[in-house]
Structure 1
Amino acid sequence: MTYKLGLTGSIGMGKSTTARLFAELGCEVWDADAAVHRMYAPGGAAVEPVSRLLPAAVQSGAVSRKCLKDLIAQDASVLKTLEQIVHPLVAQDREDFLASSVSDIVVLDIPLLFEGGNEEAMDAVVCVSISPEEQETRVMARGTMTIEQFRQIRAKQMPNEDKCARSNYVVVTDNLEHARAQVKEIVAEIRGKLGDA
């Protein structure tokens, strides 16, 4: 039996780093964002359906995230159309990953796990967490968005304390060694349960 561990957390909380820590311990990791990137790339599964329904979003044989952002800004209904294309493709990609996985624990890295109602499909959920001040500092340090853009994104996501309350495990990502120790504990606990089963 493969144990499905959902991994979630808001922007800037340290989810990618935490996913790598699970991978170091032999867990296979599926990344929802990476799946979407593959689908948007030339030859990706989303290119043809997006070019049919949102032709302005496809440039040089790939789906342009910038064009999508502009289209959504002009017309909010574009987001619904895009979700109807992408969500089933992402779900299929996840199923294909699970079918080919050989690890005892698979980590499904899904930023909007609770928002999308995906927690039901998981055996347990891990939420990464950090203080709102540290979160803002990290995101601003990337230099990829303004403070207004960051706050808009955060406002659309479920509040961090709600995600933590709904999760089986919380990993505080204040520093790498602390995060690594918490991930080791979680993996040891799950492997202990799997060994008893």
Structure 2
Amino acid sequence: MSHPFILGLTGSIGMGKSTVALMFAELGVPVFDADAAVHRLQGPGGRLLPAIEAAFPGTTGPDGVNRPALGVRVFGDKDALARLESIVHPAVETLRKEFLLEHAGQDIVVFDIPLLFEKGGWERVDAIAVVSASSEIQRRRVLARPGMTPEKFAEILEIQTPDAEKRARADYVIDTGQSLEETRADVVRLLEDVRKRLASA
């Protein structure tokens, strides 16, 4: 194989994806966190600040991108959002390629991508793991977050691929509605299964 087996990890808001990503990392599997990459690119001294400032004047400063200010500029404006994505996505892709090169000797790597289905990232992975829990657990977790409201939660769900569709399209479903030990056991079994597939390929 010319590159490690790429497992795409995704899940709707509040489903526990970050917790599962950490479990993979603790088991020695390198994890590329797309959200963290964007935060680095847009943070203090981030390489995207000049381009974002040129496209959206007044939205950056010494602390990086002023996310609320930038959000106001692109929210509900498809052209502005497309302009921002045309700046951000190629830079994230570059970081992803660097990550693959850095971990070329590994058998498996994880791409942690929240909008894997929504943005077409599913086409660039070898298998997909969806993190899921019941809608009641999801709602409870999300509404416990600071500043979250039922209205905001509804808006986020509106733009995300429904959980049932994600599960139907997944190669693996990881249940986070159970204990952490049980979820970790599911992650271990998933890795064993992938390694069996690699051994027989």
> What is the TM-score with the length of structure 1 in the denominator?
0.95
| Mapped pair 1:81 → 2:83 | yes
C-alpha distance in structure 2 between counterparts of 1:154 and 1:56, whole Å: 30
C-alpha distance in structure 2 between counterparts of 1:75 and 1:111, whole Å: 21
1:183 paired residue number: 187
C-alpha distance in structure 2 between counterparts of 1:11 and 1:65, whole Å: 19
Deviation at 1:103, TM superposition (A): 2.3
1:134 paired residue number: 137
1:103 paired residue number: 106
CA RMSD in angstroms, aligned pairs only: 1.4
CA contact (8 A) 2:75 2:81 kept: no
C-alpha distance in structure 1 between counterparts of 2:24 and 2:172, whole Å: 13
Runs (4+) off by over 6 Å: none
Over 3 Å counting, the alpha-carbon distance change for 1:111 and 1:142 in structure 2 is same
2:198 paired residue number: 194
Q: Percent of aligned pairs with the same residue?
A: 47
Deviations, residues 120-145 of structure 1 (Å, cap 9, x unaligned): 11110000001111111001112232
Deviation at 1:64, TM superposition (A): 1.3
Q: Looking at secondary structure, tell me which structure has more helix per residue.
A: 1
C-alpha distance in structure 2 between counterparts of 1:190 and 1:153, whole Å: 32
C-alpha distance in structure 2 between counterparts of 1:188 and 1:56, whole Å: 50
Over 3 Å counting, the alpha-carbon distance change for 1:77 and 1:191 in structure 2 is same
| Mapped pair 1:13 → 2:24 | no
Residue of structure 1 aligned with 2:149, choices 138, 146, 151: 146
Q: Which consecutive unaligned segments of at least 5 residues does structure 2 have?
A: none
Q: Which consecutive unaligned segments of at least 5 residues does structure 1 have?
A: none
Amino acid at match of 2:91: L
1:27 paired residue number: 29
Equivalent runs, 1:24-173 vs 2, <5 Å:
24-60=26-62, 62-73=64-75, 75-101=77-103, 102-173=105-176
Matched length: 197
Deviation at 1:80, TM superposition (A): 1.4
Deviation at 1:50, TM superposition (A): 0.3
CA contact (8 A) 1:13 1:129 kept: yes
CA contact (8 A) 1:6 1:122 kept: yes
Deviation at 1:9, TM superposition (A): 0.4
Amino acid at match of 2:174: V
C-alpha distance in structure 1 between counterparts of 2:85 and 2:14, whole Å: 23
2:6 paired residue number: 4
Over 3 Å counting, the alpha-carbon distance change for 1:45 and 1:126 in structure 2 is same
C-alpha distance in structure 2 between counterparts of 1:71 and 1:151, whole Å: 21
After alignment, is 156-165 or 42-51 more displaced? 42-51
> What is the TM-score with the length of structure 2 in the denominator?
0.93
Partner SS state of residue 56, structure 1: coil
CA contact (8 A) 1:47 1:61 kept: no
Deviation at 1:116, TM superposition (A): 0.9
